[in-house]
């Protein structure tokens, strides 16, 4: 008989894996709520047009897209941002600003699976819409940092690399690129960290750079600038038009304002200016950032930024927006790598042991009564010797074991044993639920 296997890039979640996944989700939820974000969700299946309107037709090769029985072109969602934009646009006039929403959902991308990248993954998204000021950027970066720290990561195990697509656009324009050329140049810059220099030179030449070597050197020098004042000094030495100077200096003022907010929030140690970050998605419009692990292979953990034009591009009202996404796959891999995966104990509160049919029915009735009070109560489905049942009770991790033997039934009592101390107490059967609740709360 053939054995059916999980599809490539998809995962089975056995109980222990599911417990860990749910723990990661719980930490994300707690962090988002502490920051005042509200949870939302949308359908797993979306219109293909919604995705191509956001990212272009070329994204179709990365999607699980098909025609449904109604003849509609649809796709399993690869991310939640388009869904968020659609939902907010539909009720934009009724939503109080700023809109602070988060979601934890499953996404799907048809791409080559590799370490840290699967075809099905869960992602934590957090976004602020309706606030154009840098306080929104600082808030989502703060939530990103807090989310990683709350999962158990230390300050020296990750860094948020902060950059600015607007600053890059203005700088690229000053080098002679315009319109689609500038967008193409940003695409090259986004890959330069992983691209041989000669390949980047050739790409700049194909794009139309009049002097690819000079352009490449200017871009490389710009990428290495460590702080705002170094950027200002670098730009002051360039032969730029007055318009270019004004645009670039305006962005540097925005940088100073954002960095002041991050400093006030105590986030400076977690964030560094790094102009090598550009973010490949064309809808980003301002500050962009990526969180990278600084141990092991240095993989990206999360990414995000400003996308002020996206809602209008998708047919909604113009609205500033900023947010990030964090996947569960690379996060779990890193926690495992630094030996910080939580040890989750899935245990019972109460275990009931019994003998005979009368003992079973009495135990079963009390188990249901205790469950109604919120306790996790377990009992064997089939009777075994008391010794074996007590062994099962120990394996369950229960705090208390309740005993329903012939003597207990005859006397109208239940023996309640504290599993940690070994202490045992006879409780009248009629008062069992209240007595057990009191003992359980006492610990």
* Listed residue (212, 158, 127, 179) closest to 330, CA to CA: 158
> What is the longest distance spanned by two Cα atoms in the chain?
99
Q: What residue spans of 224-322 are helical by DSSP H?
A: 228-236, 242-264, 310-313
Considering the four listed CATH numbers 3.40.50.800, 1.20.20.10, 3.90.1150.10, 3.40.50.1700, the one that applies to the domain covering 350-442 is 3.40.50.800
* C-alpha to C-alpha distance for 88 and 45, rounded to whole angstroms: 18
Strand partners of residue 45? 76
Task: Find out whether 30 is annotated in a ligand binding site.
Answer: no
Q: What is the predicted pLDDT for the residue at 315?
A: 81
Q: What is the predicted pLDDT for the residue at 297?
A: 79
* Listed residue (162, 196, 108, 402) closest to 277, CA to CA: 162
Count Cβ atoms within 10 A of the Cβ of residue 430 and give its class: 0-12 exposed, 13-18 middle, 19 or more buried: exposed
Task: Find out whether 81 is annotated in a ligand binding site.
Answer: yes
Task: Find out whether 80 is annotated in a ligand binding site.
Answer: yes
Task: Find out whether 127 is annotated in a ligand binding site.
Answer: yes
DSSP 224: T
**Buried-state track 36-52, b at ≥16 Cβ within 10 A, e below 16:** ebeebeeeeebbbebbb
Start-end ranges of CATH 3.40.50.800 in the chain? Answer: 350-442
* C-alpha to C-alpha distance for 215 and 220, rounded to whole angstroms: 9
Start-end ranges of CATH 3.30.930.10 in the chain? Answer: 15-42+80-337
* Listed residue (259, 205, 263) closest to 231, CA to CA: 259
8 Å CB contact between 97 and 131: yes
Task: Find out whether 123 is annotated in a ligand binding site.
Answer: yes
Task: Find out whether 109 is annotated in a ligand binding site.
Answer: yes
Q: What is the predicted pLDDT for the residue at 91?
A: 93
Structure-block tokens of residue 206: 């194909």
* C-alpha to C-alpha distance for 366 and 292, rounded to whole angstroms: 52
First-to-final CA distance of the chain: 51
Count Cβ atoms within 10 A of the Cβ of residue 193 and give its class: 0-12 exposed, 13-18 middle, 19 or more buried: exposed
8 Å CB contact between 41 and 105: yes
What is the separation of C-alpha 35 from the centre of its chain, rounded to a whole number of angstroms? 15
Q: What is the CATH number of domain 15-42+80-337?
A: 3.30.930.10
* C-alpha to C-alpha distance for 234 and 363, rounded to whole angstroms: 78
Output the tens digit of pLDDT for each of the chain's 443 residues. 568 899 999 999 999 999 999 999 999 999 999 999 999 999 999 999 998 876 665 677 889 999 999 999 999 999 999 999 999 999 999 999 999 999 999 999 998 888 878 999 999 999 999 999 999 999 999 999 999 999 999 999 999 999 999 999 889 888 888 878 888 888 888 888 888 988 988 888 888 887 889 999 999 999 999 999 999 999 888 888 888 888 889 999 999 999 999 999 999 999 999 999 988 667 789 999 999 999 987 899 999 999 999 899 888 889 999 999 999 999 999 999 999 998 888 899 999 999 999 999 999 999 999 999 999 999 999 989 999 999 999 999 999 999 999 999 999 999 999 999 999 999 999 999 999 999 999 87
Q: Who's near 185: CB < 8 A, 6+ residues apart?
A: 172, 175, 177, 204, 207, 209
Task: Find out whether 283 is annotated in a ligand binding site.
Answer: yes
């Amino acid at each position: 008989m053939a054995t059916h296997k999980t599809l490539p890039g998809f995962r089975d979640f056995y109980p222990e894996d599911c417990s860990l996944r749910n723990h990661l989700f719980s930490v994300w939820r707690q962090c988002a709520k502490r920051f005042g974000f509200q949870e939302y969700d949308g359908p797993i299946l979306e219109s293909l047009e919604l995705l191509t309107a956001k990212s272009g037709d070329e994204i179709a090769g990365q999607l699980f897209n098909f025609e449904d029985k109604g003849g509609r072109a649809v796709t399993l969602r690869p991310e939640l941002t388009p869904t968020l934009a659609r939902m907010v646009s539909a009720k934009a006039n009724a939503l109080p600003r700023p809109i602070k929403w988060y979601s934890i959902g499953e996404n799907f991308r048809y791409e080559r699976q590799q370490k840290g990248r699967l075809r099905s993954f869960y992602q934590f998204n957090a976004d602020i819409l309706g606030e154009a000021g840098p306080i929104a950027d600082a808030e989502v970066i703060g939530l990103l940092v807090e989310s990683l720290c709350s999962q158990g990561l230390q300050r020296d195990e990750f860094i948020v690399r902060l950059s600015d697509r607007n600053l890059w656009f203005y700088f690229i324009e000053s080098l002679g690129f315009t319109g689609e050329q500038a967008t193409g140049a940003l695409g090259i810059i986004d890959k330069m960290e992983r691209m041989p220099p000669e390949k980047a030179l050739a790409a700049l030449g194909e794009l139309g750079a009049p002097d690819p070597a000079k352009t490449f050197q200017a871009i490389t020098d710009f990428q290495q600038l460590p702080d705002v004042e170094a950027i200002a000094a670098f730009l002051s030495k360039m032969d730029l038009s007055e318009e270019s100077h004004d645009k670039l200096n305006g962005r540097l003022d925005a940088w100073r304002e954002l960095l002041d907010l991050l400093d006030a929030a105590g986030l400076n140690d977690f964030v560094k200016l790094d102009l090598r970050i550009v973010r490949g998605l064309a809808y980003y419009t301002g500050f962009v950032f990526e969180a990278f692990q600084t141990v092991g292979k240095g993989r990206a953990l999360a990414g995000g930024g400003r996308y002020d034009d996206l809602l209008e591009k998708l047919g909604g009202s113009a609205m500033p927006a900023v947010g990030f996404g964090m996947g569960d796959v690379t996060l779990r891999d890193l926690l495992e790598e630094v030996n910080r995966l939580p040890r989750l104990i899935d245990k019972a509160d109460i275990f009931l042991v019994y003998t005979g049919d009368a003992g079973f029915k009495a135990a079963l009735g009390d188990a249901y009564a205790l469950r109604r009070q919120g306790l996790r109560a377990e009992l064997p489905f089939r009777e075994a010797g008391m010794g074996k049942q007590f062994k099962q009770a120990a394996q369950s991790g229960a705090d208390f074991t309740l005993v329903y033997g012939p003597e207990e039934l005859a006397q109208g009592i239940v023996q309640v044993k504290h599993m940690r101390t070994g202490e045992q107490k006879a409780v009248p059967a009629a008062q069992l639920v209240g007595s057990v609740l009191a003992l359980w709360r006492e610990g």
